[in-house]
Structure 1
Amino acid sequence: MAEISSKELYEFKRTINELSDKKGRGTELVSVYIPPDRQVSDVVKHMREELSQSANIKSKQTKKNVQSAIEVIMQRLKLFPKPPEKGLVLFVGMIPKGGPGTEKMENYVFEPPEPIKTYTYHCNSEFFLEPLQEMLGDKEIYGLAVIDRKEATVAVLKGKRIDIVKTLTSGVPGKHKAGGQSQRRFDRLIDLAAHEFKKRIGETINEAFLAIPEMEGVIIGGPGHTKEEFVKGDYLHHEIKNKVITTVDTSYTGEFGIREVIEKSMDVLAEIDVMREKKLVQKFLTELVSDEGLASYGEAEVRKNLEMGAVEVLLLSEDINSRRDKFECPSCGFIDAKTFKNTKTESEENCPQCGEKMNLIESKDVIDDFVEMAEEVGSEVEIISTETEEGMQLLKAFGGVGAVLRYRV
């Protein structure tokens, strides 16, 4: 996803998840996708047509709800002389909160992270989210292979995910100890077997990588010179050969070799999220183990450092499943805040000063709470996925909260 921060990506994912949970009682939830080059007046005209056609809906309640949603859309469109740079999406409808009669009109209007290509009007019992979900798909795809005379592994790197395509073994025999003609004949057989193995590797790579025309590039790794011989030889389809970015030396083959190729290609793949996240967490870990390191972890300590303005980069796991609840004592006015797992449905706290039961006055996602604190003091925020080993380590070992500091506290 081009030019979108980890914080924006997290918020976008969360919005889609929230919208996917919304269900209408009938086909009454309206979704509208407006491309940036679409005239707002044309959209309003279309909404009037849909409003007129909705009079034919048999169910009185569904008809009323659809018409109300369309009217809300037309009202919201008055705020936009033209669509934003990447277009506009609107999700509007009556969402039931319980039994019949509990429906409440909800509307979501925002600019998506990528340009909308096609104008869409959709009315159903669920919001139409497929175009937004496609924007979350991995955009940067690289082909990887690690090769030696005995074994080869072919893989595809999609964003942060490594998909092993196939592992091949050669059956190329080792060196022959005899001399003379027997030695030369055996060497020719070895060379022929190695050539046939490279052909098999090439066929596997060509078949797998040509099926992914959007592949950004190809990186070939492996111990020894086999990888260079393979790249220089006539084994790869010309389209794939033109996408070869570099070759890298590795100590391993197999899946370990593929991971080593990624590690040694950090500069080449620096823009991929997986590498960026790895570097961020690795910097945090390096600072943490250093005697003069500038790092802290854990919710309480990082909150304290944020309040002091000491945090340069705040690292938050996207899988933190907690909320920050704020309480106020009705008797003495004491205010306190605590973090709870989202699995706990209700928060009850007694005032530590007078013992009175406190009132819940605010509840928000703990990531939102941290982001607000960071923005107040100008700290950079990075939302880290759990799709990498480092991201999982941040979540499991450090509670999903870490920080690189500006100065020692």
Structure 2
Amino acid sequence: MSTTDDVQDRIEEVSNATGSGPHLVTLAVPPEQPIDAALERIEEEHARTEYIDADETSERVTEALERVRRIVSDYEETPENGLVVYAGIVDAETIDYVFDDLPSPVAGERYERSNEFETEPLDVTTDESTYGLLVVEHGKAILGRFSDGDVEQIESLRSDDTEDNPTSGELGDREQTHREFFERVAERAMVEFLGEAADEQRRSNANPGQSDIDPVDGLFVGGSSVTASEFLDGDYLDHRLRNRIVTDAFAVGDASRDGLEQLADKARDHLEDARREDVREHLDEFLGELETGDEAVSGREAVEEALEYEGVATTLASGTLSAEELRDYERRTVAQGGEFVVVPNDIDGGDELRDGLGALLRFPID
């Protein structure tokens, strides 16, 4: 087992390594991925590289992939929290770094080839939540989800009664058509975002061969401002999905892939604003308690002592700390039921965290 200092040093070395071309290889294997699948991916990349005209770059890529393949082949199964391997030629020497004892799970599969190693798989601050996306307009809708920035389109829906001119026909008939389509969209959202349907036959038809769908952590709805609001105000969604709606409907182009991407962009901005506001509130509470009370401490030594006494309610850590330090303090804080907050470098008041650390306490520690 690597020591904390050793892991920290290796992360810093990975961050500083630079190649003379795009031949440094990063492989991230999440814990749920079989090690054989990761090895197969490397074999495919190796075979693909052999078809490239022989030049210095392809030769260096091949050498890096062979080093990664040898490393991965030594594992009979994927480590508990996944595996991250780096290999390539730096300063005329083939180097590698292996992280197989990470304190938190690798977020997802990743293969990168660049003149720098990709250190994001080692970052503990990634949001692992999954959010549902629903863009709805009269007669058309599209469903998707995103997690850690990746947008997945699930399905597009279209009303069977959609006409070339949606305003034609009797008003009552049009309204009935809209209501029926909204009900269909809501049922589909329940299938995709809650893993349930009105009956097993519909579930079977909607999701062939898929029996389990994890609920989303939140739901973002978009469309034209009028239509999306009409859908939400009409109370079509299951109450459990309504409780997961993160904010008011966003205005986006239409129910297409572009509209889904627009909604995801607005959702990311909203989540980032909310995250910074949450950090701001924690930091303000910390600064107020630090000035007037005795249930806040600042500095590495004081935070370490509070963690030893299991008296930490919230640890605040500066984003300037290394990824390994952040992981370590997050693990120890969460283990005692506390909350861990990373304070961005550009937030006013963050410099009050001596040594980049502070804590709100459950009780005073003498």
Report the TM-score range of the alignment, normalised by the length of the smaller protein.
0.3 to 0.5
Of the two, which has the highest radius of gyration?
Answer: 1
TM-score (normalizing by structure 2): 0.43
TM-score, structure 1 normalization: 0.39
